[in-house]
Structure 1
Amino acid sequence: MPRSKLSASPTGLWADDSGSASLEFVTVGLVLLVPLVYLVLAMSSIQAGALAVEGAARQAARVFVQSADLDSARASATRAVEFALADHGIDPDSASIAVSCEPRPSSCLTRQGFVTVTVALSVALPLLPPVLNGDFPVAVPLTGTATQQVSRFWSGG
């Protein structure tokens, strides 16, 4: 027996739902898919920034302890950070670099001394206009730190 267009159910004339499954699928699919895609974009942007600051700090600490003097060490560390961040597609001017030394903070390149390089960066969330600056964060702050020991055979000038 063919199904009638109008049902005799107590819900009224709109009880027939034939053909609405595709509309519901598209609607629910968009409602769930759009936030999921944005979440993937945001997480990949944050992960790229995290990998960039960690790699930049590690490479800057390595070149710092291998330099001949303090001026060339600072210049080499700055170049290493710029190169590492540019390699990940991040503007190097948006990062800040801090160098600390132990056991003597006044002299970084001492034999068997430790040099710690910290690179800080804020990664903007994707697809948010810069005008949007409310009570919620529009950037995620990231920090990468690396420590290297100066060689015991170091003989700098």
Structure 2
Amino acid sequence: MPRPRFWGEALRDDESGSAALEFIVGGVVLLVPIVYLIVTLGMIQSHALGVEAASRHVARAVSSAEGAEDADARAAAVLDSIVREYDLDADTLDVDVSCVGDSTACPAAGETLRVTVAASVPLPLVPPVLGLQDATRIGVESSSVQKVSRYWRDG
């Protein structure tokens, strides 16, 4: 004689209709954070490549210049190009040019020049409320070293 089925057993055996809903909910819960992470890492990588290129090219431009005016013009042109190419925020870009040795005149012929470029990356989808857009920035920095040309003219 067959055993009578209870309500709990009938529900446990019924597996129809929930797979699509589970897939949608599970997909959204897993997919949204993964897409946000990929976009964020892409932005950070882009800014990191931008500041690396800026420090390297500014160091080369300044070290191969003939004088201070020429170096300033070259550095400004390189920075403008890098800011446009890598979509960097020019307001958060910080450029520091210094000499490695204990030289009073920097840059000078034969000196070793260090250029450090720093920027901050805004996280995507952070609202400008209560200063969150500034608190959630990630800093990236790069340094490059070049020997100044021996043809550098002071003054």
- Normalising by structure 2, what TM-score? 0.84
* Deviations 1:98-142, CA, capped at 9 Å, x for gaps: 1111324432233321111111111101111122545x9411011
Unpaired runs of at least 5, structure 1: 1-6
Q: CA RMSD in A?
A: 2.3
State which of 142, 154, 157 in structure 1 corresponds to 2:151: 154
Question: 1:93-132 to 2 correspondence within 5 Å?
Answer: 93-131=91-129
The residue type equivalent to 1:86 in the other structure is R
Query: Does the Cα contact within 8 Å between 2:109 and 2:153 map onto a contact in 1?
Result: no
State which of 73, 90, 93 in structure 2 corresponds to 1:92: 90
1:72 Cα deviation from its structure 2 partner: 2.8
Closer, same or farther: CA 129–112 of 1 in aligned 2, 3 Å = same
1:11 equivalent to 2:8? Answer: yes
* Deviations 1:47-82, CA, capped at 9 Å, x for gaps: 000000000110000000111212331332233122
What's 2:35 paired with?
37
Query: Does the Cα contact within 8 Å between 2:119 and 2:140 map onto a contact in 1?
Result: yes
What's 2:58 paired with?
60
Q: SS at 1:112's partner residue?
A: coil
Unpaired runs of at least 5, structure 2: none
Farther off after superposition, 94-103 or 32-41:
94-103
How far apart in 1 are the matches of 2:127 and 2:91? 20
Closer, same or farther: CA 42–120 of 1 in aligned 2, 3 Å = same
Query: Does the Cα contact within 8 Å between 1:53 and 1:85 map onto a contact in 2?
Result: no
Q: 1 or 2, which has the higher helix percentage?
A: 2
How far apart in 2 are the matches of 1:112 and 1:21? 71
1:140 equivalent to 2:138? Answer: yes
The residue type equivalent to 1:47 in the other structure is Q
- Normalising by structure 1, what TM-score? 0.83
